[in-house]
A and B are shown apart, each in its own frame.
Chain A
Amino acid sequence: MRDLSLHILDLTENSVRAGAGLITIRVDVDEKKLITLTITDDGCGMDAELLERVMSPFGTTRTTRKVGLGIPLMAQNARLTGGDIHIDSTPGKGTVFTAWLHGDSIDCLPLGDLAGTFVTLVTANPEKPDFVLMCSSPNGSMDFDTRAVREVLGDVNLSEPEVSMWMLESIREELGPIFGGVIL
């Protein structure tokens, strides 16, 4: 993966496939440039045996292929910076995926197009789930919740191109001042 936003896209797809109704993506950067990525879902969750399997590149819940690289690749990139990942999961309740990366490490990937990732997720899954994006840095914070958008749109689908472009521009406008000059 070329940037963190692509890891976030890939990992959040796991939450979508887990049948989540609400997925929250958090990106927090502190004054020491420690980046904390958290993806929380209320999907089907995993038991201890499955949790161990998903940490391995040769473990996957899919039947069409024998590898599952999303989590191992994220773990590798986090550890290269001196960070790590952690997964908390309860069957039937959901999963919390956390990754820590040291933003001042030469091996830390750039954040990338987080707004693009978020809008891609929403557009590709317009009916369900709802998504929340929360970001913070010493410069400020923002959040974006598709439930609020859905309330305004009524019967109009979140995947309508004009809606997607509105979300993209809204999120980009808000993210710029938060992460600009910090980790972008």
Chain B
Amino acid sequence: MKSMAELEAIRQRTLQRINLRKEDESENIRVVVGMATCGIAAGARPVMMKFMEEINKRGLKEVTVSQTGCIGMCRLEPMVDVYLPGQEKVTYVHMTPEKVGRVVAEHIVNGRPVTEYTIGAAEK
């Protein structure tokens, strides 16, 4: 059974990590998952969970995961926007939990978008 003592230990570790984060929040990486009815029905929740799992596993300190609503392209859901500081937003479409590992490794960690998963590739 998970205990509050474990949570307290997580708090201590997290506080240490927070202190290491860049002070300027604009330097942080943002992952935004579409979570309207269309996104949820298409499988957005496991995609979001997989992003959290990968980010936690790799100990990535400057990445936040959040959600947004429907942006009107329901046929392309689940959609995920990745914002890297100083770069244009990259929109990934038809995301699956299996694709998340590659997006984290290649784009979030190494700064190279996975072109074949992006909206540009899907709309060709």
Instruction: Report yes or no: A9 in contact with B45, Cβ–Cβ below 8 A.
Output: yes
Instruction: Report yes or no: A164 in contact with B56, Cβ–Cβ below 8 A.
Output: yes
Residues of the B chain whose Cβ atoms lie less than 8 Å from the Cβ of A68? 37
Secondary structure dominating the interface of B: helix
Residues of the B chain whose Cβ atoms lie less than 8 Å from the Cβ of A87? none
Interface residues of B in 1-51 (CB under 8 A from A): 1-2, 4, 6-8, 10-11, 13-15, 18, 33, 35-37, 40-41, 45-46, 48-49
| Contact residue among A116, A149, A164 (Cβ-Cβ distance under 8 Å from B45) | A116
Q: Interface size on A (CB < 8 Å)?
A: 40
Which of B2, B15, B66, B71: most chain A Cβ within 10 A?
B2
B55 CB within 8 Å of chain A: yes
Q: Shortest beta-carbon distance, A181 to chain B, in Å?
A: 20
Which residue of B is nearest A117, CB measured? B45
Q: Interface size on B (CB < 8 Å)?
A: 34
**CA–CA, A126 and B8, complex, Å:** 18
Q: Shortest beta-carbon distance, B97 to chain A, in Å?
A: 11
| Contact residue among B35, B41, B48 (Cβ-Cβ distance under 8 Å from A1) | B41
A25 CB within 8 Å of chain B: no
Instruction: Report yes or no: A156 in contact with B15, Cβ–Cβ below 8 A.
Output: yes
Which residue of A is nearest B58, CB measured? A161
Q: How many A-B Cβ pairs are below 8 Å?
A: 96
Instruction: Report yes or no: B14 in contact with A124, Cβ–Cβ below 8 A.
Output: no
Stretch of A43-51, A93-101, A102-110, A166-174 that contacts chain B = A166-174
**CA–CA, A70 and B56, complex, Å:** 31
* Contact (A149, B7) CB under 8 Å given A6-B41, A123-B65, A169-B2: yes
B64 CB within 8 Å of chain A: yes
Besides the contacts A123-B52, A124-B48, A162-B14, what 6 more A-B pairs have beta carbons closer than 8 Å? Answer: A2-B41, A152-B11, A155-B15, A161-B53, A169-B2, A173-B2
What would be 19 A-B contacts, judged by CB atoms less than 8 Å apart? A1-B40, A64-B69, A69-B37, A120-B35, A120-B45, A120-B67, A123-B48, A124-B33, A124-B66, A148-B4, A149-B7, A152-B7, A159-B64, A159-B66, A161-B55, A161-B65, A165-B56, A166-B7, A168-B49
Query: B-side interface residues toward A, CB under 8 Å?
Result: 1-2, 4, 6-8, 10-11, 13-15, 18, 33, 35-37, 40-41, 45-46, 48-49, 52-53, 55-56, 64-67, 69-72
